[in-house]
Amino acid sequence: MDVKKALAERKSTRDFLDKEVPIEVINEIIEQAKTAPSGVNSQPWQIAVVTGDSKTKLCDKMEEAFRTGKKGAMDYNYYPTEWIGEYKERRKACGKLLYSTLEIKREDKQKQLDQWALNYQAFGAPVVLLFFIDKALEKGSYLDYGMFLQSIMLSAVEHGLATCPQAALGEYPEIVREELCYSQDKVLLCGMAIGYEDKSAIINSIRMPREELDKMVRYYS
């Protein structure tokens, strides 16, 4: 598979088959992704691969926290405290497309809540990757991490797997650190669901739109 095809096929998948992914495949994906660049070759990535009973227990605890009203608090500000302008509009359009595809009406708060709760179950994926970084590192290492995450997702496509990068899996860092025995000096960046796509699921038909080049690029010559 060439890069162009992998980029086109990658998407955020939100429903997975109940089919195990061999750990050897996960290791091969990470082995390929670790060639991603990082400033002064710092390689800031630290990954927890969570499957089986450990995944079930962890996901259940996060979902329980959500359903009992415990507000999630990430280790850092992933989203702005106030949405403005075009970013606010894109966020609204994203939610509208998701819920309209699922035929969940605006007034049906319980269905909306149930749908959101699936985030904490990694949408039924058999594998959850959780990404940590040392607290001492700065913003440049976060940029490095982004390239590493994209490398994982593209490699997963080549291996016939689907992914969904998830900020939601980073919303309860204390639960994650306690369950996986990570220290307080490790920042939980985010998580990623990974597995085999359920291609019959209507939610997986969603492809979020992208802006035209003239909205994001300026040319100088």
What pLDDT sits at residue 211?
A: 96
Indicate which CATH number applies to the domain containing 15: 3.40.109.10
pLDDT at 165 over 80: yes
32 domain-assigned: yes
By residue range, what is the domain housing residue 125? 3-79+120-206
Could you give the CA distance from residue 156 to residue 53 in angstroms, rounded to a whole number?
A: 23
98 domain-assigned: no
Quick: pLDDT tens for 79-133.
Answer: 999 999 999 999 999 999 999 999 999 899 999 999 999 999 999 999 999 999 9
86 domain-assigned: no
What pLDDT sits at residue 183?
A: 97
pLDDT at 190 over 90: yes
Number of domains in the chain: 1
215 domain-assigned: no
Backbone angles phi and psi of 84, in degrees to 5: -130, 155
What pLDDT sits at residue 1?
A: 76
Which residue type sits at 91? R
Q: Which helix (H) or strand (E) holds 156?
A: helix 139-158
89 domain-assigned: no
CB-based contact 188:199 (threshold 8 Å):
no
Quick: pLDDT tens for 123-163.
Answer: 999 999 999 999 999 999 999 999 999 999 999 999 999 99
Q: Taking residues 3-9, report their average pLDDT.
A: 95
Residue 221, helix vs strand vs coil: coil
90 domain-assigned: no
102 domain-assigned: no
Could you give the CA distance from residue 22 to residue 195 in angstroms, rounded to a whole number?
A: 10
87 domain-assigned: no
Quick: pLDDT tens for 32-55.
Answer: 999 999 999 999 999 999 999 999
